Amino acid sequence: MNIVITGSLGNIGKPLTKLLVSKGYQVTVISSKPERASAIEALEATPAIGNIQDVDFLTTVFNGADIVYLMEAWEGIGSLFDKSIDYRLEFEKIAHNYVKAVKDSNLKRIVHLSSVGAHSENGTGSLLVHHAVEQILRTLPQDVGIKFMRPVGFFSNIYRWLPTIKSAGAIVQSYGGDRKEPWVSPYDIAHTIAEEMAKPFTGKTVQYIASDEVSPNEIAQTLGKAIGYASLEWKVITAEELLNQMLSAGINEWIAHGLVAMQKAQADGSLYEDFYRNKPNLGKVKLSDFATEFAAEYDRQNN
């Protein structure tokens, strides 16, 4: 089976490529960076160097593929500190490029990395871009099968909190407490996607992916213990304070407002309503597993 992967060798792309190659599939990995070619080849995959904004390039790479894994990366669009970027518009442009390339290449099966929150265009903050992309991909002909994979919040995103953990001895967000919410490891996402690619599929379906359910306070306690800082706390500030901090730091205004709105949905549980209506089996990687990985990175940065 010939499989094309967008997103280069990121948190999901790298383990997914390894898994697919180990199953004997022919894997092509799209990357915009020529310097990634050797790393892709080292995994026994084929590099395709080009830009996903180039429809002709996408069409050429998609041609002859049995399945294509589609994703849109925030980092690939630009810096979160670039105030000129219209992120919703850029996500929609990529989705329209995908639609044209899929049609022109006669591709019939897609696995798309979406997100929790994609079920709604309201009340999910910046996650609404995933709803918009799903709607655009749903315009593809009926004979194009799509599996929309909706992971919850990534454990790996917690690394973004390292500076505050070091400087303030706390995780600082606009929600917190003991209410559990789902989290996911990129490794479980990769394993789930690899398993789903091996199954025949038609139509447009949705599948959520999660690894564990833990509360903000549990995260702080577990990470604190792992790094030898037992007093680490999850500190809650007002939405206005968080927004002002992000804007003062120069973060794109739409991103800042979107993050605050998303955390409001996390706090009241509305972000996860559709997830719990369609709750998947949890993956293998738990918070305790991630804490070991997190502690190693914490130590590496402190040495």
- Mean pLDDT calculated for residue range 136-150: 98
Q: Over the chain, what is the mean pLDDT? A: 96
pLDDT at 11: 93
Task: State the CATH number of the domain containing residue 108.
Answer: 3.40.50.720
pLDDT at 285: 98
Does the pLDDT of residue 220 top 80, yes or no? Answer: yes
CA-to-CA distance for 291 and 165, rounded, in angstroms? Answer: 14
pLDDT at 262: 97
- Mean pLDDT calculated for residue range 190-219: 97
Does the pLDDT of residue 76 top 90, yes or no? Answer: no
pLDDT at 302: 84
Between the alpha carbon of residue 298 and those of residues 120, 166, 218, the distances in Å are 36, 9, 18
- Identify whether 112 is part of a domain: yes
- Identify whether 38 is part of a domain: yes
- Identify whether 6 is part of a domain: yes
Task: For residue 227, name the pLDDT band (cuts at 50, 70, 90).
Answer: very high
pLDDT at 242: 97
Task: For residue 75, name the pLDDT band (cuts at 50, 70, 90).
Answer: confident
Task: For residue 257, name the pLDDT band (cuts at 50, 70, 90).
Answer: very high
| Domain interval for residue 71 | 2-154+183-210
- Identify whether 24 is part of a domain: yes
- Identify whether 282 is part of a domain: no
Does the pLDDT of residue 303 top 90, yes or no? Answer: no
Overall domain count for the chain: 1
pLDDT at 12: 96
Does the pLDDT of residue 287 top 90, yes or no? Answer: yes
CA-to-CA distance for 9 and 59, rounded, in angstroms? Answer: 20
Tokens 């898994």 appear where?
19
- Identify whether 149 is part of a domain: yes
Task: For residue 78, name the pLDDT band (cuts at 50, 70, 90).
Answer: confident
